[in-house]
């Protein structure tokens, strides 16, 4: 990729990975990553091998360092790294020996070595030693970040060996932790049961099921609850609420026949509220089984109870849904309209209006669709469907060329749902409408607003239409007096980074950042670096995204925000991308964007459809490309090799460029949906405006893929520069495009 002088001046030298990443981070993270400054050459050589995962060469280098004159602290550090290297080399006895040497109160990372040692014993099924070392950690390092996980591990090990009292001791400190709450509470119930405290166990299982019926813990608790009630029938009895909740657990586990069995006895209740609830859930279970006639009888029984039941309106709504499922659309609409008229206060009124609109849309009754969506917005402006309703109204009027009505619908969407993705699109399409009305100056003004607003894909398109390639990521404007004081990173981090113990640093920092929203920026940069050093690029990007929305980066300098953007849009596998982009005459920015959106730089990614690797290539496509590239003895496993995958993917993009005149939007769509399908869409839809064409691609996955790739493509071009503006125009094949001869491309942009 070639870089413009403007991009170099704005953003500095191109961000690189590999051996230079650590040093680039030094500039941003102060003392966290500069621990290498005073390291001896022999240490640097050994650590370089650890960095590469080359433990075979690292181990003898580290062993030789142990034979030299070292301070007590240096010896502890080398033992720790050797323990890690031997563990990764699967030499567990050697790893154990070195970890033990590092566990001393004089060493800042002793708890880390202790935790790894205990886990190692647990993996070796030596539970006695694992318990011994976990217990040592809890007793001697009470402020360790490992404490909660260690207590949970101890509880599990003691439970495994039916040491219920000891397990319970550790669970008391875990049950209130958000990450373990339900799991640990269930384990506590098992302890109580093992200690013959059946009433306490019974109450805990009741609580678990009452709180949530849809997870695996509830399913497990259900079995225990019923067993306890059966074995201790004189003292432990299921309440009506328990029985209803048990049925709901079975329903959520898709065990509908069992749910029916659970609900049926409750339908005989003399209490109309309980009876109505039981019959309704019986109907839900039968509906899930597709026993529609039986379910309808159940719902009618609920309706017969009238206002005595709390499920009256829900039953009416579900009957309409059954008619819709059975294909009786006219009856379904009539039922839904009656529901809206009779129960305007119901929580399902927006669902009903949305369903009405969907049915009319399927039948092509535009005015009825508009009517239903308009009513939905009026009666339930806060509904989850309201933004979609406004979006559809705008588009239906647009298709009818009733542009001013369309404009007003999109304008309302923009104003009422700020930050919403549909609202972003609405703002963009307001400019498009002004184009269609031949009002280029108004269109220009709106496009400039969209470009500056950073509206995902729509800002990228606005910039392309305006022929603009740069914009700034501005700091959040928050008064300094309101900014929180950032918390320093844990003191262990610097040593972990120096010793290349990135896994341990991730463990430490991910938990620290989760509980410290005002963590210093160095903490975020260090965590990103750790993930990148382990080639976990997808997680590095997750942390960069988290950093950008954190209070830590409010009012930060633009160069630090630019650094985060480079980590959101990195240049991993740069050697291969640049090589094959040049060979196949493909824009490298498009290749990077495709890799990012296809796999998040995970070289071993496999999609639900079977696509493999960085650029998600199907094995059949890989075989054909291997034949063309004369790659001998090709096997689909080779698609996990970065160079092979990038070469094939880039060549495929080059072929698509030839088919679609290098249009990045069409190429990215064809890459996802197939070139044949893309050609058919172009011919059948006969839409001249590329943006309208994309919005009307019927396969949602392909439509979103185009938008995601173009957004990332725009970011890569903006961050790293490009010799020319991407050839992605406002319209294609349309000599009468109103922008072509207008002043749109000539007016200055107001920043």
Task: Give pLDDT tens digits for 346-379.
Answer: 999 999 999 999 999 999 999 999 999 999 999 9
Question: Where does the pLDDT of residue 3 fall: very low under 50, low under 70, confident under 90, or very high at 90 and above?
Answer: very low
For the cut 60, the answer to whether the pLDDT of residue 728 exceeds it is no
Spatial separation of the C-alpha atoms in residues 537 and 539, rounded to whole Å:
5
From the number of C-beta atoms within 10 Å of its C-beta (0-12, 13-18, 19+), residue 40 rates as exposed
Over 50: is that where the pLDDT of 11 sits? no
pTM for this model (two decimals): 0.84
Residues 651-671 have a mean pLDDT of 95
pLDDT value at residue 364: 92
DSSP class of residue 139 equals H
User: Which of 285, 252, 247, 284 has the alpha carbon at shortest distance from 266?
Assistant: 247
Burial of 198: CB neighbours in 10 Å, binned 0-12, 13-18, 19+: middle
pLDDT band per the 50, 70, 90 thresholds, residue 265:
very high
User: Which of 19-28, 31-40, 113-122, 672-681 is predicted least confidently?
Assistant: 19-28
**Residue 462 to residue 452: CA distance in whole angstroms:** 9
The domains found in the chain, sorted by start residue, are 5-29+489-530+537-568 (no CATH), 41-195 (1.25.40.10), 575-720 (1.10.530.10)
Q: Which residues of 219-229 are buried (b: 16+ CB within 10 A; e: fewer)?
A: bbbbebbeebb
Residues 6+ apart with CB under 8 A from 187: 155, 156, 159, 167, 171
Name which residue leads in pLDDT, 101 or 38. Answer: 101
Q: Is the pLDDT confidence value at 736 over 90?
A: no
3-class DSSP state for residue 617?
strand
- Please count the other Cβ atoms lying within 10 Å of the Cβ belonging to residue 163: 17
Percentage of residues of the chain with pLDDT beyond 70: 88
Share of the chain above pLDDT 90, in %: 79
Mean pLDDT, all residues of the chain: 88
Q: Which two tokens stand for residue 205?
A: 């299982």
The tens digit of pLDDT for each residue in 122-148 reads 999 999 999 999 999 999 998 899 999
DSSP string across 409-468? HHHHHHHHSTT-HHHHHHHHHHHHHHHHTT-HHHHHHHHHHHHHHT-HHHHHHHHHHHT-
Mean predicted confidence (pLDDT) in 149-162: 97
Under 8 Å CB-to-CB from 599, ≥6 apart: which residues?
538, 605, 613, 614, 615, 616
623 Cβ partners below 8 Å, 6+ apart?
634
Confidence of residue 556 (pLDDT cuts 50, 70, 90): low
Predicted confidence at residue 6, as pLDDT, reads 37
Most confident of 179-188, 451-460, 471-480, 727-736: 179-188
pLDDT tens for 376-401 read 999 999 999 999 999 999 999 999 99
In contact, 381 and 416? CB cutoff 8 Å: yes
pLDDT digits (tens, 9 = 90+) for 425-449: 999 999 999 999 999 999 999 999 9
Residue with tokens 């609202």: 423
Residue 557's pLDDT is: 65
Give, in degrees to the nearest 5, the angle at Cα 604 between 600 and 609: 85
């Amino acid at each position: 990729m070639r870089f413009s002088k403007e991009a170099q001046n704005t953003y500095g030298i191109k961000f690189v990975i590999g051996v230079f990443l650590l040093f680039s981070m030094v500039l941003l993270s102060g003392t966290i990553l500069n621990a290498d400054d005073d390291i001896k050459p022999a240490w640097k050589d050994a650590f370089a091998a650890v960095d590469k995962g080359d433990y075979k060469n690292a181990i003898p280098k580290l062993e030789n360092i142990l034979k030299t004159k070292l301070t007590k602290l240096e010896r502890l550090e080398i033992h720790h790294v050797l323990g890690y290297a031997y563990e990764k080399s699967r030499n567990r006895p050697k790893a154990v020996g070195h970890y033990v040497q590092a566990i001393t109160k004089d060493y800042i990372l002793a708890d880390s070595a202790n935790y790894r040692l205990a886990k190692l014993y647990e993996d070796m099924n030596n539970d006695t030693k694992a318990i011994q070392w976990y217990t040592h950690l809890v007793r001697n390092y009470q402020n360790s970040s490992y404490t909660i996980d260690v207590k949970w591990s101890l509880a599990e090990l003691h439970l495994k060996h039916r040491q219920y009292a000891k397990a319970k001791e550790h669970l008391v400190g875990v049950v209130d932790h958000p990450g373990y709450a339900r799991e640990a509470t269930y384990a506590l119930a098992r302890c109580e049961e093992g200690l013959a405290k059946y009433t306490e166990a019974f109450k805990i299982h009741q609580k678990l099921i009452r709180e949530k019926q849809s997870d695996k813990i509830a399913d497990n608790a259900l079995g225990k609850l019923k067993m306890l009630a059966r074995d201790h029938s004189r003292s432990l009895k299921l309440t009506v609420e328990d029985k209803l909740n048990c049925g709901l657990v079975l329903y959520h586990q898709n065990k509908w026949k069992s749910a029916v069995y659970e609900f049926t006895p409750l339908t005989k209740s003399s209490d109309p509220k309980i009876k109505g609830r039981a019959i309704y859930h019986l109907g839900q279970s039968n509906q899930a089984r597709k026993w529609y006639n039986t379910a309808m009888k159940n719902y009618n029984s609920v309706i017969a109870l009238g206002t005595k039941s709390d499920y009256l309106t829900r039953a009416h709504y579900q009957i309409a849904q059954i008619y819709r499922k059975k294909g009786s659309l006219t009856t379904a609409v009539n039922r839904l309209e009656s529901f809206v008229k009779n129960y305007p206060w119901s929580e399902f009124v927006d669902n009903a209006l949305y369903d009405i609109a969907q049915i009319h849309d399927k039948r092509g009754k535009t005015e009825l669709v508009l009517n239903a969506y308009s009513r939905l917005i009026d009666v339930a402006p806060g509904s989850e469907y309201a933004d979609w309703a406004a979006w559809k109204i705008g588009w239906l009027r647009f298709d009818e060329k009733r542009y001013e009505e369309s404009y007003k619908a999109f304008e309302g969407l923009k104003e009422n749902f700020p930050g919403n993705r549909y609202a972003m699109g609405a703002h963009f399409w307001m400019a498009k409408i002004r184009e269609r009305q031949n009002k280029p100056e108004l269109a220009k003004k709106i496009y400039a607003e969209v470009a500056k607003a950073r509206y995902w894909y729509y800002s990228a398109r606005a910039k392309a239409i305006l022929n603009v390639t740069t914009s700034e990521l501005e700091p959040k404007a928050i008064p300094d007096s309101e900014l929180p004081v950032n918390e320093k990173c844990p003191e262990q981090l610097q040593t972990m980074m120096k010793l290349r113990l990135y896994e341990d640093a991730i463990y430490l920092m991910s938990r620290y950042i989760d509980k410290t929203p005002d963590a210093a920026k160095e903490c975020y940069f260090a965590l990103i670096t750790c993930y990148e050093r382990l080639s976990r690029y997808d997680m590095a990007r997750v942390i960069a995204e988290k950093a950008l929305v954190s209070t830590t980066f409010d009012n930060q300098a633009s160069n630090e925000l630019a650094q985060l953007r480079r980590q959101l849009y990195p240049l991993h596998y740069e050697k291969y991308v640049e090589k094959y982009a040049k060979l196949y005459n493909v824009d490298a920015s498009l290749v990077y964007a495709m890799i990012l959106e296809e796999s998040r730089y995970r070289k071993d990614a496999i999609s639900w459809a079977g696509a493999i690797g960085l650029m998600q290539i199907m094995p059949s496509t890989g075989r054909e490309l291997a034949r063309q590239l004369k790659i001998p003895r090709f096997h689909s496993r080779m698609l996990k090799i970065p160079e092979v995958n990038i070469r094939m993917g880039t060549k495929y993009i080059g072929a698509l460029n030839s088919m679609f005149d290098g249009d990045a939007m069409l190429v990215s769509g064809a890459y996802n949906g197939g070139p044949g399908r893309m050609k058919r869409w172009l011919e059948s839809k006969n839409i001249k405006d590329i943006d309208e064409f994309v919005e009307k691609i019927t396969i949602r996955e392909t439509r979103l893929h185009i938008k995601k790739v173009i957004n990332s493509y725009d970011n890569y071009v903006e961050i790293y520069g490009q010799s020319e503006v991407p050839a992605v125009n406002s319209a294609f094949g349309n000599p009468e495009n109103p922008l072509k001869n207008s002043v749109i491309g000539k007016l200055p942009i107001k920043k």
